[in-house]
Chain A
């Protein structure tokens, strides 16, 4: 396979990543709403597991496809959700507002990235 094929495929994958950002935004927003509604540690762990998947994906893939900000903004959410899944942390009135603000920043960054794709 040639270098040109690498560049073409990379460009194509970047476009696909960008095209899917709106769907992933919806997935994250719905997952977060479920987490906020979850009552009790076990329900919170289950909801956190669901919403962590697309957020963890963004941490690992965002900068690879040229969207460094998505990886950086998603990382603290990924860590917090992992702590909930491992029962080291719980969703509380004290920590939820800050994490929701971080989530809003992420959703806006995803919206911006979808509207202004990397070349």
Chain B
């Protein structure tokens, strides 16, 4: 198991209802501190001050998409090496590999189950040295 505890998650999702239920699940079930953002620009603006342990990014967003947001976050000193996980409805294996090649630790498929989302992230976090 890797060192460090997962506590702070920067979460990017533009759909309000999905954002609300995922944030609630991560905070109540996972006991994480979550900073939710609705756009890539907002995530970039909040990232340095929030200092996340992990970034959870939706892929398809209307302006700046998840992969572009990640590449911008990588330019910030505080998030240059912060583990990132994408959430996407695109779950074909070649696409998952492409997301990992962009620097994502893993990919969570949408639709997701809110009751198990926090455990999924904990598993990814705990196994991150093996990936």
Do A and B assemble together? yes
Q: Which residues of A contact B (CB under 8 A)?
A: 1-3, 5-6, 9-10, 13, 16-17, 53, 56-57, 59-65, 68, 71, 75, 78
Task: Output the least CB separation between B34 and chain A (Å).
Answer: 11
CA distance A9 to B24 in the complex (A): 8
Q: Take A16-B17, A17-B17 as given contacts and tell me if A59 and B24 are in contact as well, using a CB distance cutoff of 8 Å.
A: no
Task: Output the least CB separation between B67 and chain A (Å).
Answer: 14
Q: Lowest 4 CB-CB distances: which A-B pairs, in order?
A: A63-B111, A60-B110, A64-B111, A59-B89
Q: Take A60-B89, A61-B111, A63-B111 as given contacts and tell me if A13 and B28 are in contact as well, using a CB distance cutoff of 8 Å.
A: no
- Is the pair B17, A13 in contact by a Cβ cutoff of 8 Å? yes
CB of B127 closer than 8 Å to a CB of A: no
- Is the pair B113, A64 in contact by a Cβ cutoff of 8 Å? yes
CB contact list, B1-55 vs A, under 8 A: 15, 17-18, 20-21, 24-25, 27-29
User: Could you list 28 examples of A-B contacts with CB < 8 Å?
Assistant: A1-B28, A2-B28, A5-B24, A6-B24, A6-B25, A6-B29, A9-B20, A9-B24, A10-B114, A13-B21, A17-B17, A56-B60, A57-B15, A59-B110, A60-B18, A60-B111, A61-B17, A61-B18, A61-B110, A62-B111, A63-B111, A64-B21, A64-B111, A64-B113, A65-B17, A68-B111, A71-B89, A71-B111
CA distance A11 to B66 in the complex (A): 28
Which of A2, A5, A64 meets B110, CB within 8 Å?
A64
